[in-house]
Chains A and B, each alone.
Chain A
Amino acid sequence: MKNWPLFEIFIRSKSGLNHKHVGSLHAADAAMAIENARDVYTRRQEGISIWVVESKYISASDPADSDPFFEPAQDKIYRHPTFYDLPDEVKHM
């Protein structure tokens, strides 16, 4: 088991939707990870496509720094459509 790398599993539940992270599993290689992911995560037709990626290849932002890291977006409310006051006569925009 120690030799089996950990894979993160992503499933597309139906066509048109994005692949979503569902969990992880150990497998000898990527091909086996895909087969095992099918048996573990799609026994009730929960998916039509599976991505697997070895966990060690995922880089992540640091939760301890998340406040300063995401701070730049905080004061830019003008990026949202509701920031703009338009006359009521403009119905759909």
Chain B
Amino acid sequence: MFREDLESHFQHKVDAEEKIEPKDWMPEEYRKTLIRQISQHAHSEIVGMLPEGNWITRAPSLKRKCILLAKIQDEAGHGLYLYSACETLGVEREQLLNDLHSGKAKYSSIFNYPAISWADMGAIGWLVDGAAIMNQIPLCRTSYGPYARAMVRICKEESFHQRQGYEIMLTLAKGTAIQKQMAQDALNRWWWPSIMMFGPNDSDSLHSAQSLKWKIKRFSNDELRQRFIDMTVPQAELIGLKIPDPDLKWNEERKSYDFGKINWDEFWNVVKGNGPCNKQRLHDRVEAHEKGAWVREAAVAYAEKRSARINSN
């Protein structure tokens, strides 16, 4: 087939909501976009373990500690599903990790903010995982089969993450004045970074139009952000917390909330590596990888020994 035929056949399949599978022909740019997006997503899961890992030993009860451990374990699993999906596009795991560790590949900027109090575990689950779910649910129908299937699995597991976070906030908000203040303070710090998670405004989003045409993305950044805000504001009200946005108000005509201006300078500054924790996160990730080298080597040595023993019998 000629290249134009291949391209039109491909687009036809995408338009008909048929999934693209690893061995199917696909435009090079589609493959590249997916590798970038899926690996970025996988890196976000793995780096996302760091701010929470810091709180495992300081969780206020055994119950909370078990829950937090389970959540972080899920995130490791999500990272793995996504790395595997990404590898079906012909890129090696080692390459993906190298790109993360060298700073070439990005991960969600939200994890470059510090988690300084226990209430942050609540805010992260409620807002950060909430925003992630809003992004991820449409990705269950994304055009690339392995990515869509990984997302189905992830979304099933993710809903517990958001609920446990909201429950932490609820418990604090019902607690002493100081506990309620902790919850409000966490909301104040995580609100704006969370709504920035949906990415730049549609008018400034570099890859959006093509990704929508290829059905990699199903909704625009601004649509998803608006949905998240509309869903989250009543949840804050329900537990007596205040969204830190003086311009936030219900728009009866649009049946949606109007909200204040997002500080995109801050967003780009963090993306470019100058957020409060960029260096620390990357350092911790590289260190964890390097310190784990002996485990990987030992596993190979053990596997070789075991196979030698089986072969000699």
Contact = CB atoms under 8 A, between A and B. Distances in A.
Q: Which of A4, A40, A62, A64 has the most CB of B within 10 A?
A: A40
A54 B164 CA distance: 37
B81 A29 contact: no
Interface string B46-90: 000000000000000000000000100110010011001101000
A48 interface: no
Interface stretch (A18-26, A68-76, A77-85): A18-26
Given A1-B296, A6-B87, A43-B74, A26 B93 contact: yes
B23 A60 contact: yes
Given A1-B97, A26-B93, A28-B299, A62 B23 contact: yes
B84 A23 contact: yes
A60 B21 CA distance: 12
Interface in B259-313: 296, 299-300, 302-303, 306-307
Interface of A: 1-4, 6, 22-29, 31-32, 39-40, 43-44, 60, 62-64
A43 B149 CA distance: 17
A60 B23 CA distance: 10
A41 to B, nearest CB: 8
Q: Which of A3, A28, A44, A62 has the most CB of B within 10 A?
A: A28
Contacts of B307: 29
A15 to B, nearest CB: 22
Question: How would you classify the secondary structure of chain B's contact residues: helix, strand, loop or mixed?
Answer: helix
A28 B303 contact: yes
B299 A32 contact: yes
Contacts of B150: 23
A43 B24 CA distance: 32
A22 B77 CA distance: 13
Given A1-B94, A29-B306, A29-B307, 18 more contacts: A1-B93, A1-B296, A2-B94, A4-B296, A4-B299, A6-B87, A23-B84, A24-B84, A25-B80, A28-B299, A28-B303, A31-B303, A32-B299, A39-B73, A40-B77, A43-B77, A62-B23, A64-B23
Contacts of A23: 81, 84-85, 149-150, 153
Contacts of A22: 153
B92 interface: yes
B164 to A, nearest CB: 15
Contact of B73 (A1, A29, A43): A43
Contact of A40 (B25, B80, B92, B149): B80
A44 B92 CA distance: 29
B24 A63 contact: yes
Nearest to B20: A63
Contacts of B93: 1-2, 26
A27 B74 CA distance: 19
A64 B77 CA distance: 33
A58 to B, nearest CB: 12
Contacts of B185: none
B230 interface: no
A3 B85 CA distance: 19
B258 interface: no
A88 B197 CA distance: 62
A28 B77 CA distance: 18
B222 interface: no
